[in-house]
Amino acid sequence: MHITKKMMLAAAALLGSWAIGAHAADAINLPALGSAQQAQMSPAESSKAHLAADAKCTRCHDENESKPILAFFQTPMGVTGDSRTPTCESCHGASLAHLRGPVNGKMAPPDVMFNKDGPFPQSSATARAAVCLTCHKGTQRTHWAGSPHQVNGLACNSCHKVHAAVDPVRTKGLQQTVCYTCHKDRRADFMKISHHPVPEGKMMCSDCHNPHGSVGPHLMKKATINETCWTCHADKRGPFLWEHEPVTENCTNCHNPHGSNIAPLLKARPPFLCEECHNGPHQSNFMEGSNVGLPGGNAGASGEGCLNCHIMIHGSNNPAGAFLHR
């Protein structure tokens, strides 16, 4: 490929925007996020201001490091032409002592340190989360305070990779591997023959759960487990003329939503699952082989089960379906 002088000049100009000197960077005071002045910036002005402010850090933290940070500019938060984009200082603080360089051979840490395996001690989970919540507040994160993840000492970067071009926890097919780091029992469930298509990349944990906090149990996205299930299984919602009490109470009375070796996600095989509630004479006759009230004699031997007759197990709207027969 022949490189022309014009191409060389264009490349030099691009590299120059990344290598703005420390004095030029210090001279620019980027307005606080959300300010009217920054909101009025054109994309070109915003890009120039962001690159100048970040040059304080990128002059040392470049692609030569074992953990490069310039991939940050490939993420949604690295679009320098967007006035809402944060700078390094927005997340790590002014870090003036760190910017001064080594003193007596020792480098001061940034004001806020996220990595636990870096050369500096990690900041507290509260401090790390507070930085992210400066911008990412409300909506999905309304109930972060007091949520199971928050009270167990997790912060946003415990799950998210901010500097990576691809954040696994936000990617179908990868998110579950992040969740499995703590929830190892769920990995086992999803390896069972009947499971929601999370391993296949058709669903994510966050389709049902809100990891940032919820008013419902088990961090469900809706207020109840049933409401969350009905998001996809709308045909089970009803209302039905004849309802099945355990169904309206909680889907997990019968199903294990993460996986089971009994299809479809059942916690036990019928008729044993049914007999956990229906343990009256009807079931006793059924198991003893009596033909009282049941056609076919020994139902166990003939292969008959509860669902052979009670087919509308989730509820029926038929006037003659009081026993969920139709």
Task: Round to the nearest angstrom and report the end-to-end CA distance of the chain.
Answer: 74
> 246 exposed, middle or buried (CB, 10 Å; 0-12, 13-18, 19+)?
middle
Q: State the Cα–Cα distance between residues 34 and 283, nearest whole angstrom.
A: 67
CA distance 264 to 311: 15
Closest CA to 47 of 23, 21, 14, 22: 14
Domain ranges of the chain: 238-309
Smallest CA-to-CA distance from 25 within 48, 44, 43 is with: 48
Residue bearing tokens 């954040």: 167
Assess contact for 53 and 25: CB atoms under 8 A: yes
Print pLDDT tens along the chain (326 aa): 455 544 444 443 343 333 333 333 333 344 444 455 556 778 888 888 888 888 888 888 877 665 668 888 888 888 888 888 899 999 999 999 999 989 988 999 999 999 888 789 999 999 999 999 999 988 899 999 999 999 999 999 999 999 888 999 999 999 999 999 999 999 999 999 999 999 999 999 999 999 999 999 999 999 999 999 999 999 999 999 999 999 999 999 999 999 999 999 999 998 899 989 988 666 444 444 444 444 433 444 444 588 889 999 999 999 999 999 98
Number of neighbours of residue 299 by Cβ within 10 angstroms: 22
- 190 contacts: CB under 8 Å, gap ≥ 6: 176, 196, 198, 199, 258, 259
Q: How many helices (H) and strands (E) does the chain have?
A: 15, 0
